[in-house]
Structure 1
Amino acid sequence: MITTLTLVLTAVVSLAPDSSACRMIGRWPFGAGEMPRDLVNDTLAYVNAGGGLIILNVKDPGNIAEVGELQTPGLPLFFSVHDTVLCVGEDEAGVALYSISDLSRPWFLGRCRIPGRSFGTAFDGRYAYVACSDGGVRVVDFVDPGSPGEVAMLPVPSGAVCVELRGGLLYVSARTGGVRVADVSDPLNPCEIGAYELNGSYAQSFRVRDSLLYVAFAESGLVVLSVADPTNPARLSSSFGAGWWMDGLAISGDFAYATIANPPQIKVVDVSDPAHPYLVSTYRPPRNMAFYGIAAKASLLYTVLERSDPKGGFRVIDVSDPASPALAGSFSLPLNTEVVVTVDTFAFAGVKGGGVEVYSIADPSNIYLLGETGDTSRIGRLFVEWPYVYAAIYNSNFFQVIDVSDPRNPVIIGLIDSLGYGHDVAVRSGLAYVSVGEYLRIIDVSAPAQPTQVAKLKLPNSAFGLDLSGNYCYVADWYGGIQVVDVSDPTNPVIAASCPTPYAAAVDLVVRGDYVYYSDVQGFGILDVSDPRKPNPVAYESLPLPAVSWGIDAMSTMVFVALGDDGLGVYDATDPAHPMLTGYYNTPRWAYHVSVRDNIAYVADLAGFCIIQYYGQGVEEGGISSKMPSDLRVLGTVAADILLLDLGPAHAQCQVAILDVSGRARCTRNFTAAEVGQGRVTLDVSRLPAGVYFAEVRGQSQRRPVKFLLAR
């Protein structure tokens, strides 16, 4: 059997700045969406769906169909198309090109990381003009898509959001800096030639049509400018400013369509006379749901409605009669993932307002949806005890039992028919412990289809995360700190002890051995509960703002913390009084919840979920000791399950150990000076499963770890 192996010297590898000792091995990227500024043509719409784009055929608005999808490492808010190349601003991941010659299988061409967050893009076939949150507009040369590079920068005040390219002119919205016009006839030397500002009002969006520039100013409404002389944009009209917050804009024919944030609505404006626009009609969404983005083609509008609501999604609105806009079609989009738990090869995800979804994670590189409950529940937390999933529900019946014996057809078989804010659930010995509002409720689930409450206990504040250990249930009680509840008699739970948390609100916790690890929004802490009635604080790790500590889980003494916008943090609490950050991964969106199994973290990231492997435990990757002989190099190949290490001209005996990601030696072999003197040594790796390992060369009291990936 031929096995492939890749060796990476820790001395020369520099981890990406958004990760350390962690790598993403799988991802389901889709979540709440937003309508980008434009359609590709009358047939295709590319819709931002959290961590990727969903490509829709919208030729028949009454029968919209998905034709392709594209995963992106960041949030794809804006894009531009040139021939069969898609240019995407990917938020913190930079700007990337994808081939869309085959819509069903878009493929990656190249990416350039640039400072700040990448928003709007304009692509001319070679140069990408990228609006950045800081530093203005970056010009990236994609002459070689596989090796792009930044070649110029156009500074603009307040940071850039949107860009449009018209001939040799680039139009830029610059937040409170209004709109700017730049000459980019020489892409290597962009030069601002004109600008229009409006008393510090925020330029949210704009459109260029011929010699007219339509701008949506958040507080000041719709402004129409003449750019016949681009060096001197001149205002022709201003309207609909007082009391509105205008955030999106589309133009088609003689009409402008502006989305208003509060209250949510679309204004249909006749701009046939740019100097005297007037309101024709207002389109209001059902249930006061908000609009996220807008585009227009001919007499149709395209938008995303209330991305966190299952009754929202992609919408097509017919404005052939501008005085009476009407819904023409819709398409359901993914919802935000707020919790994910796993068992065997399945992941169970709670989506905001969409119930529970079941995914296959047998191959982390090819995750796919198996089934869903299809209800409108907002899931707090999930607990799996095969073949049932127990759900704490936040917005309806506070507790559900779901039969997942057929993962393709999960069925709700039991519930407690009472409103409440269910936050977390744990199950043991036929009893479910559920945090609901200000109560801990204990439910008999010995008959899963007929759950029955057997007791409830009022807590001092508001119950969130919980866990069980021995005769006690530990509850994160928001401003009430950590509550230790004696459940030795499940029909009569009593508070045995309380422990305040140092700063904000206790939101999640997990018990491992004699310790409780908890998160309280501003950080995480460790309690010694060897005597549950006398919990003793032993450590607290405060996080610098704007980082937050939301979800938490632990494996042995390794603590995994969901850090919101900062992703996943991994801490070694072997010494519980001094937890140390040993790894992190900046997830694409907002890390909300984490569960851990076998050094693998499953992170609910709002835009789907990520599977992240932590490989740093027990292995020092800090580089080569200065005492290590400089002529000792380690190179390796493998064939027929034999690892061949080329040590170079070293002349001392040594030991080679193969370590797994936990730092445990899986195999070792001692080599004599004569064997090492030949410069090559071999090890049998036939019994090792696929995974990440470290070949540690130990000699002269020094240890040199070399990371490698064994793929079978």
Structure 2
Amino acid sequence: MKVFRAACSLCLGLLTMLGAAHAQTLQRVDVGGGKLSPPVAQGDYLYVGTGATVSVWNMADPTEPVFAGRTSATPTSGPISALAIVGGYLYAGWSAPDGTGGITLYSLADPAHPVGAGEFDDWVVADYKGPIGLAVSGNYLYIGDSQNGVFAVDASDPLVPVVVGTVGDVYEFDAMAAFGNQLLTTGNSLIGGRVVNVLDISAPAMPLVAGQAVLDGGSVLRAALTDGYAIGVGNDLLVYDVHDPANIAQVFSAPIDQATGAIRIGNTLYLVGDSGIQVWDFTTPASTTLLRTVAMPTFAPDQTAATPFGPIVLTHTDRAVLLDIADPHQPTLAAQFTLPIGVSAHAGAIGADYAVIAEEGYGLAVADATTLAPVGRYDADLPADLAARDVEDISVDAGRAYLATWGYGVLIADLTDPLHPVELGRFEFPFASAIEAHGNRVYVASTTNGGIFEVLDVSNPASPQLLGSLTTSKTYDLTVRGNYAYLVDGADFADGGLRVVDVSNPAAPVVAGQEGSCPYANGIDVSADGNTAYIACASDAEFANALQIVDTTDKAHPVLLGSVALPGTEGLPDYNNPHSVVVVGNIAYVGNEYGLDEVDVSNRAAPVQTFRHPTGYFVSKVERAADGRIFAFAQAAGVFVFAPLASDSIFANGFE
């Protein structure tokens, strides 16, 4: 058990294995958004794991939820998968792609503002940990570790948890709950199929496996655990009686409109899917009966739960939907509120007053530039399919937002009234992945099934026109300086690396020059004069990951000046895939597998990695704000915001 000091490793960052001495130039000032955990509640407060933070809502009036804040001062070291409340403490189970995992403890002395109180990570000695399930029974906490099994923990003193029992052959913890003398877990088995495990916790310090069942049917996507019954949902509804764990029996099966969530409250079962809420009479589980389907804004539900405030649905489109079940068979909408920053924010443009964020599931979110509180959104009219709605990139220019939407193409939104963005037009261009706008020109590129680079005329945004196009390979990123577009590609369908494209004649863009020492390039930034390119290289000619610096003064003959490999982890010292880069003065900020790295590029022939800001998940995109902050989009871990240190002079004159 570790107690938080004045600063934690995630707060200070890591000096690299190179041992280079260099003061960091950024400090973390905020974290938020990211993957959702199942919610928990205590008193008037609702707690949700959002990436590496816990977000809190005051639910004293369930019809008017009030966002109370997030634990950005003490984030976890990886995305949160599970929460549990023990006494006056909130336990947040997290794990990261590098195999690390732990449980961060937060004091709820002030329930609106959880405060970091410690870290519990020694329940097992193992190279890999995956605490993705937590459940509480009395003073006992049960940890579902997907790498190591079930651990029973005596949490009589929540700050001094003690492991008292283990079960080593259960590894499925997508959901986990305790009911009386039973601990139920469920998840996908390594050998296939969705498994329900029943553990006997009548002796709470000595859990024992009492039974197991594989849910029948090939269309079960998730399982909900309730007292006495496990409920599988997907394209079918399956009900399993687990009262006798040695003889788990399927008692009901029926095809349904697809549902990916289930909430049981008493004798009513609510199935949650894109079509809304299916209400089932569960009085006799073996004869479960569909009563009605109620339309609700529940497209793409990520988490569902029964709470003291009513059934709640948290969606991939950043919506929280709370149901009023005064009449259990006639649920109505009690409240709808927004999950700040975004469940899956891919990129952003941050101005003086507003941040405009590309969201995976629906379009764009508009947030206050300082607090990141949501103030507006644009829901694109796209098919009810997350792949078709995946917004990959965003560019904001002259009061418009241009979105690269993988499943469709280019969407254009008017930001004249940023609180109420509206669509101006669209252009079909499947698999769009990178976009940049300048005046009446939009430059967009794709990746899937071979890359294409296109130049659009958007002088009439209601009817964008294709001016010219160019076949590439697999373009992951681009930027434009003057009459040249700089593209970085993967070598899947043609040459990878850097392409310098002359766009002076937009009807006929042509490759002016190439530099191919990085066959698989992910991200690029280019100096204002267009003469230096900084490339986030996933795999160079030597199969190394590196930040490359290329002299592009002679557009026909770009020349590699220097590169530096970004260090990995202790277990994988040579692996660290750079994804994105932004350069300010003599510092390059590189988003990579483990966080945001600072690289000194004052000597372009010999750049030096100097500092790492860990994020607990890979940083796919780095953006710079008008006021000097750096935004690192860390996918499931959320968005990390960094500000220049007060003493750092490189920001004095703004960005290049």
TM-based fold match above 0.5: yes
Counterparts in 2 of 1:155 and 1:468: CA distance versus 1, 3 Å: closer
Where does 1:238-253 land on structure 2 (aligned, <5 Å)?
238-240=212-214, 251-253=225-227
CA contact (8 A) 2:394 2:435 kept: yes
State the one-letter code of the partner of 1:222. V
Counterpart of 2:405? Answer: 393
Aligned pair partner of 2:344 in 329, 336, 339: 336
The separation in 2 between residues aligned to 1:524 and 1:161, in whole angstroms, is 34
Counterparts in 2 of 1:348 and 1:279: CA distance versus 1, 3 Å: same
Where does 1:281-680 land on structure 2 (aligned, <5 Å)?
281=253, 284-285=258-259, 286=273, 292=302, 295-296=305-306, 304=314, 307=316, 309=317, 331=336, 333=339, 334-361=342-369, 364=370, 366-375=371-380, 378-400=390-412, 402-413=413-424, 415-428=425-438, 430-437=440-447, 438-445=451-458, 447-450=459-462, 452-479=464-491, 480-513=496-529, 514-521=531-538, 522-543=545-566, 544=568, 547-563=576-592, 565-587=593-615, 589-596=617-624, 599-606=628-635, 609-615=639-645, 660-662=648-650
Aligned pair partner of 1:80 in 59, 78, 84: 84
Where 1:461 maps in the other structure, the secondary structure is coil
Counterparts in 2 of 1:608 and 1:101: CA distance versus 1, 3 Å: same
CA contact (8 A) 1:593 1:605 kept: yes
The separation in 2 between residues aligned to 1:315 and 1:442, in whole angstroms, is 44
Provide TM-score, normalisation by structure 2: 0.70
State the one-letter code of the partner of 1:489. N
Counterparts in 2 of 1:530 and 1:225: CA distance versus 1, 3 Å: closer
Counterpart of 2:270? Answer: none
Where does 1:100-139 land on structure 2 (aligned, <5 Å)?
106-112=112-118, 114=119, 130=120, 132=121, 135-136=122-123
Where 2:196 maps in the other structure, the secondary structure is strand
CA contact (8 A) 2:86 2:136 kept: no
The separation in 1 between residues aligned to 2:581 and 2:503, in whole angstroms, is 23
Give CA deviations for 1:185-244 in whole Å, capped at 9, x if unaligned.
79969464563636xx54555433333333336327223333445676555432225787
Deviation at 1:247, TM superposition (A): 9.4
Counterparts in 2 of 1:502 and 1:418: CA distance versus 1, 3 Å: closer
Give CA deviations for 1:157-191 in whole Å, capped at 9, x if unaligned.
96654444545655443435433446677996946
The separation in 2 between residues aligned to 1:217 and 1:464, in whole angstroms, is 34
State the one-letter code of the partner of 2:641. I
CA contact (8 A) 1:248 1:293 kept: no
Deviation at 1:424, TM superposition (A): 2.6
The separation in 2 between residues aligned to 1:502 and 1:555, in whole angstroms, is 23
Deviation at 1:581, TM superposition (A): 1.8
Counterparts in 2 of 1:353 and 1:197: CA distance versus 1, 3 Å: closer
The separation in 2 between residues aligned to 1:533 and 1:576, in whole angstroms, is 20
- 366-375 or 166-175, which deviates more: 166-175
2:261 matches 1:254:
no
RMSD of the TM alignment (CA)? 4.4
Counterpart of 1:197? Answer: 169
Counterparts in 2 of 1:301 and 1:158: CA distance versus 1, 3 Å: same
Q: Percent identity?
A: 17
Counterparts in 2 of 1:214 and 1:502: CA distance versus 1, 3 Å: same
Provide TM-score, normalisation by structure 1: 0.66
Give CA deviations for 1:267-324 in whole Å, capped at 9, x if unaligned.
432334444443434664246987645545799865545x3x57x8657699x99xx9
CA contact (8 A) 1:26 1:367 kept: no
The separation in 2 between residues aligned to 1:353 and 1:14, in whole angstroms, is 29
The separation in 1 between residues aligned to 2:638 and 2:10, in whole angstroms, is 28
The separation in 1 between residues aligned to 2:142 and 2:546, in whole angstroms, is 43
CA contact (8 A) 1:443 1:451 kept: no
CA contact (8 A) 2:37 2:83 kept: no
Aligned pair partner of 1:178 in 117, 134, 149: 149
Where 1:662 maps in the other structure, the secondary structure is helix
Deviation at 1:86, TM superposition (A): 3.8
The separation in 2 between residues aligned to 1:232 and 1:81, in whole angstroms, is 21
CA contact (8 A) 1:204 1:246 kept: no
The separation in 2 between residues aligned to 1:179 and 1:211, in whole angstroms, is 15
> Which structure has the greater CA radius of gyration?
1
The separation in 2 between residues aligned to 1:25 and 1:182, in whole angstroms, is 33
Aligned pair partner of 2:105 in 74, 91, 96: 96
The separation in 1 between residues aligned to 2:209 and 2:640, in whole angstroms, is 48
Counterparts in 2 of 1:45 and 1:191: CA distance versus 1, 3 Å: closer
Residues paired across the two proteins, number:
552
The separation in 2 between residues aligned to 1:157 and 1:93, in whole angstroms, is 10
Counterparts in 2 of 1:177 and 1:434: CA distance versus 1, 3 Å: closer
Deviation at 1:601, TM superposition (A): 1.6
Counterparts in 2 of 1:391 and 1:40: CA distance versus 1, 3 Å: same
CA contact (8 A) 2:123 2:163 kept: no
The separation in 2 between residues aligned to 1:82 and 1:169, in whole angstroms, is 8
The separation in 1 between residues aligned to 2:94 and 2:471, in whole angstroms, is 44
Counterparts in 2 of 1:478 and 1:398: CA distance versus 1, 3 Å: farther
Where does 1:670-709 land on structure 2 (aligned, <5 Å)?
none
The separation in 2 between residues aligned to 1:533 and 1:181, in whole angstroms, is 65
The separation in 1 between residues aligned to 2:84 and 2:347, in whole angstroms, is 33
Tell me, which stretches of 5 or more residues in structure 1 are unaligned? 1-12, 115-129, 138-153, 617-658, 667-712
Counterparts in 2 of 1:234 and 1:593: CA distance versus 1, 3 Å: closer
Counterpart of 2:50? Answer: 49
CA contact (8 A) 1:85 1:101 kept: no
Where 1:406 maps in the other structure, the secondary structure is coil
The separation in 1 between residues aligned to 2:129 and 2:116, in whole angstroms, is 28
Give CA deviations for 1:340-373 in whole Å, capped at 9, x if unaligned.
1223333221111222223332xx3x33333222
Where 1:197 maps in the other structure, the secondary structure is coil
State the one-letter code of the partner of 1:107. H
State the one-letter code of the partner of 2:367. Y
CA contact (8 A) 1:528 1:536 kept: yes
The separation in 2 between residues aligned to 1:40 and 1:18, in whole angstroms, is 36
Aligned pair partner of 1:270 in 232, 241, 259: 241
Counterparts in 2 of 1:478 and 1:272: CA distance versus 1, 3 Å: same
The separation in 2 between residues aligned to 1:110 and 1:93, in whole angstroms, is 13
Deviation at 1:579, TM superposition (A): 1.0
Counterparts in 2 of 1:501 and 1:393: CA distance versus 1, 3 Å: farther
Where 1:33 maps in the other structure, the secondary structure is coil
Give CA deviations for 1:77-125 in whole Å, capped at 9, x if unaligned.
33333566544446679623243756xxx1243432x4xxxxxxxxxxx
Aligned pair partner of 2:177 in 182, 197, 207: 207
Counterpart of 2:386? Answer: none
Give CA deviations for 1:11-46 in whole Å, capped at 9, x if unaligned.
xx998245861444643612442324x5547x8643
CA contact (8 A) 2:198 2:212 kept: yes
Give CA deviations for 1:369-402 in whole Å, capped at 9, x if unaligned.
33222326543333333333333333324242x3
The separation in 1 between residues aligned to 2:127 and 2:433, in whole angstroms, is 45
